[in-house]
Amino acid sequence: MTDRRALLRSIFDAAVAAAHPDAILARHLPSPPRGRVIILAAGKGAAAMAAAAERHYLDTTGLAPERLLGIATTRHGHRVPTRRVKVIEAGHPVPDEAGLKAADETLALAAAATADDLLLVLISGGGSANWIAPADGVSFAQKQQVNRALLRSGAPIGEMNTVRKHLSRIKGGRLAAAGHSAQIVTLAISDVPRDDPAAIASGPTVPDPTTLADARAIVARYDLTLDDAVRQALDDPRNESRKPGDDAFARARFELIGRPRDSLDAAIKVAKNAGYEVIDLGADLEGEARDVAASHAATAKKARAEGRKLAIVSGGELTVTVRGKGRGGPNQEYALALAEHLRHMEGVSALAADTDGADGGAGSASDPAGAIIDARTFAAMAAKKLNPATFLANNDATTFFEATGDLLITGPTLTNVNDVRVILID
């Protein structure tokens, strides 16, 4: 079989490059204000976005350095050098003390802004975990416990963020409320299906259509075990998020600068240039990773039966309902399930990876981005007597792909536009 791994990686790399802050941010930056440019950034691309904004204002527009300041909160290992903006590395997906401190500093900077200042809010995927400011009466440990419960529940990201927004002093429009005296411009790289501004980093500067009642319903639906203080906070009207028409948004503007759809289009272009017919399943897929893999495997088998040279491409953000004690993430679990379904099929290869460079994992910069499968994977499975179903039952895709040598390790990509999955049928 022809080795398609280099092609798979080039398809993935094209998707990432299409959403990198260095390529997309500068043309969206507003003109300097009469006062200061105060950069408030959060997410996996936060430091890279802040650095790109610094270059624009300091080098292109000639803004005096003393008129630019700010704080960028990003995942551990995602720091890049900056000149004026303070960078704090914080926990993701489970928040840590660094994120707690960073959120307090961010709120303080916003509150100190004047009518002549510009609050430039730069957000990307991961911002929800990076900016952690528990609602009054909820401890930091309790907020961490909520995050862990949500991550294990299998809830889609939108539902997770609905709960987070109602237990926070910064999410759900509250950052805009803190900085309402200034002009607020938010530039966002989307990591959520359908690019809902209220869901990206839990919407710190936009109105929130979800309610406390919605959050309580999600807790009930997934039977989450929460401390009494958390349940009381979700019953407290004072923790309702900011709604459309609130004065907090009188001088606030939101603009989406990077979308999963744009990145998927870049990936598709590479596949087409390599001579593949493409089935585009969209940039907004959701669902249980192993179930989506089963559906995609059926499409691949049909294409093989019809003799088509085909690339099946999809984005979105899949979920895993954790029942075992293994290691992994949605992309690795998808790839593992795909290996189970396609193990006897020749001429097939696939990649599933998160565009931020980390799929599940322990919050380390060295976490795998996802995995690749092809004939080499199937040969290793046979030689080492590895049964994918056994590893799936324990949610232990990382251990499986460590054994086959098929983990995709990219390191931090400094952006995040959800997952990219590609199946090539030759």
Tokens of 191: 């990591």
**How high is the pLDDT of residue 417?**
95
Residue ranges per domain, the chain?
Answer: 5-13+261-425, 21-133+168-207+242-258
Q: What are phi and psi of 86, to 5 degrees?
A: -75, 130
**How high is the pLDDT of residue 361?**
75
- pLDDT tens-digit profile of 370-417? 999 999 999 999 999 999 999 999 999 999 999 999 999 999 999 999
Q: Region 244-254: what's the mean pLDDT? A: 96
Q: Region 74-82: what's the mean pLDDT? A: 96
Is CATH 3.40.1480.10 correct for 5-13+261-425?
Answer: yes
CATH code of the domain made up of 21-133+168-207+242-258 = 3.40.50.10180
pTM for this predicted structure: 0.92
Q: Region 16-26: what's the mean pLDDT? A: 97
**How high is the pLDDT of residue 360?**
83
Local confidence band at 252 (pLDDT 50, 70, 90 cut-offs): very high
- pLDDT tens-digit profile of 328-358? 999 999 999 999 999 999 999 999 999 999 9
What share of the chain in percent tops pLDDT 90?
Answer: 92
